[in-house]
């Protein structure tokens, strides 16, 4: 009995060495045509998964799909789909094509979003809020709703990318691009990317300077920092983690003292 116990434990540890092997898994990452989503989809591809690359711009989607294929150990061809997550018909098509092509879904990463900021006194405040609900929140809920039956069948995971802005009070009650994670989620701090291309440049600069001052690690995060966390949450290593809110921010939240 004692020997069996040792053996079992050894196998568990040996299996854990392959925790990041996603061979045979199907991973759909929204907003994977640039920034964080691009790194997430490429890392899953490099770890053996069949991946779905998507965004609104065909040229970017195709470029990332080609680069992800080069990273795949077996040169698996990603499914490349042009979709606008604010359109129900596109979300239905995204999921239907995924199932038609790969037959199942193991991991859904809700990532597509935009970075807009607006203080409560701003005349655009409610307009910005409505846009963020339309782009950053509703599609997460809708796609998760559509995907749940397939994820139940594979005992899969949902990972939803949000922002630390959803976790700390902002001066002037600024509305920012955030979704509080549900299922398995994580909150991103300040990561290089094109997120704020539609935002007010002055506001963006001010927020980024304020955030940078609060990063104890004194460096801006890279998309791969977030991708590593996504892979961890979807891996066997995280099989006893669910409903968790993982913060990847170089310490911004820890260092914020409640006010940003
Ligand atoms: N970077 C940061 O510092 C930071 C901080 C906190 C949270 N986040 C969150 O991280 C996520 C990714 O941000 P990022 O920095 O990687 O931004 P990014 O480089 O701008 O990437 C955003 C991705 O979302 C896609 N997208 C945007 N609107 C879309 C729509 N309506 N339909 C379909 N796809 C759409 C974009 O593709 P197309 O434009 O081609 O459609 C692109 O692939 C966002 O949800 C953001 O809120 C980022």
Q: Is residue 5 part of a domain?
A: no
Q: Quickly state the pLDDT bin for 3 (edges 50, 70, 90).
A: low
User: Would you say residue 213 has pLDDT above 90?
Assistant: no
244 and 217 Cβ atoms separated by less than 8 Å: no
Which of 28, 30, 31 has most ligand 1 atoms within 8 Å of CB, for mutation?
31
Rounded to two decimals, the pTM is 0.91
Average pLDDT, the chain: 87
The reported pLDDT for the residue numbered 180 is 46
* pLDDT computed for residue 193 by the predictor: 64
Say yes or no to pLDDT of 252 above 50: yes
> Does residue 258 belong to any structural domain of this protein?
no
State the pLDDT confidence band at 183, using cuts at 50, 70 and 90: very low
The pLDDT value recorded for residue 182 is 42
Cβ < 6 A, ligand 1 pocket: 31, 33-37, 55-57, 60, 83-86, 111-115, 135-136, 161, 163, 177, 188, 190-191, 193-195
- Give CA–CA dist 89/75, Å, rounded: 30
In this model, does residue 32 exceed pLDDT 90?
yes
- The residue whose CA is least distant from atom 41 of ligand 1 is 56
Q: Is residue 255 part of a domain?
A: no
Q: Is 6 domain-assigned?
A: no
Does residue 1 belong to any structural domain of this protein? no
Condensed to tens digits (0 to 9), the pLDDT of residues 61-111 reads 999 999 999 999 999 999 999 999 999 999 999 999 999 999 999 999 999
Instruction: Report the domain count for the chain.
Output: 1
**Atom 20 of ligand 1: nearest residue by CA position:** 195
Question: What pLDDT score does 165 carry?
Answer: 76
Q: What is the CATH number of the domain that holds 197?
A: 3.40.50.720
% of the chain at pLDDT higher than 90: 58
Please check whether residue 128 lies inside any domain of the structure. yes
Instruction: Tell me which of 112, 182, 214 to substitute to probe ligand 1's pocket, judged by most ligand atoms within 8 Å of the beta carbon.
Output: 112
Starting from the edge strand earliest in sequence, which strands make up the sheet with 245-248, in order?
79-82, 50-55, 26-29, 107-110, 157-163, 184-188, 245-248
Cα 35 to ligand 1 centre (Å): 7
Give the pLDDT confidence score for residue 99 in this predicted structure: 98
Query: Residue 105 falls within a domain, yes or no?
Result: yes
CA of 113 to the centre of ligand 1 (A): 4
Compute CA distances 12 → 4, 15, 23, 154, whole Å.
12, 5, 19, 21
Range of weakest confidence among 15-19, 32-36, 78-82, 223-227: 15-19
- Which ligand 1 atom is nearest residue 135's CA? 31
Which residue, by CA, sits nearest to atom 1 of ligand 1? Answer: 191
At 151-172, the pLDDT tens digits run 999 999 999 998 887 777 666 5
4 found inside a domain = no
Nearest CA to ligand 1 atom 39: 56
**Segments forming the whole domain that contains residue 47:** 22-248
Closest C-alpha to ligand 1, atom 37: 55
């Amino acid at each position: 009995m004692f020997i069996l116990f040792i053996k079992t434990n050894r196998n568990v540890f040996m299996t854990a060495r392959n925790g990041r092997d996603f061979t045979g898994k199907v991973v759909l990452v929204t907003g994977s045509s640039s920034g964080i989503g691009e790194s997430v989809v490429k890392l899953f591809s490099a770890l053996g998964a069949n991946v779905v690359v998507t965004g609104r711009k065909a040229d970017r989607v195709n470029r990332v799909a080609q680069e992800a294929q080069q990273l795949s150990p077996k040169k698996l061809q990603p499914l490349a789909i042009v979709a606008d997550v604010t359109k129900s018909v596109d979300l239905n098509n995204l999921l239907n094509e995924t199932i038609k092509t790969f037959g199942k879904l193991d991991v859904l990463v809700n990532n597509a979003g935009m970075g807009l900021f607006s203080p409560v006194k701003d005349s655009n405040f409610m307009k910005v809020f409505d846009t963020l609900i339309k782009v950053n929140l509703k599609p997460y809920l809708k796609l998760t709703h559509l995907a749940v039956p397939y994820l139940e069948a594979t005992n899969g995971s949902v990972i939803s990318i949000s922002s630390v802005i959803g976790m700390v009070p902002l001066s002037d009650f600024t509305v920012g691009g955030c979704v509080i994670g549900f299922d398995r989620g994580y909150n991103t701090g300040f990561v290089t990317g094109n997120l704020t291309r539609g935002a007010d440049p002055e506001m963006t600069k001010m927020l980024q300077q304020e955030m940078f001052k609060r990063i104890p690690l004194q460096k801006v995060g890279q998309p791969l920092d977030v991708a590593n966390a996504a892979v961890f949450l979807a891996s066997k290593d995280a099989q006893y983690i669910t409903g968790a809110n993982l913060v990847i921010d170089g310490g911004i939240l820890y260092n914020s003292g409640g006010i940003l």
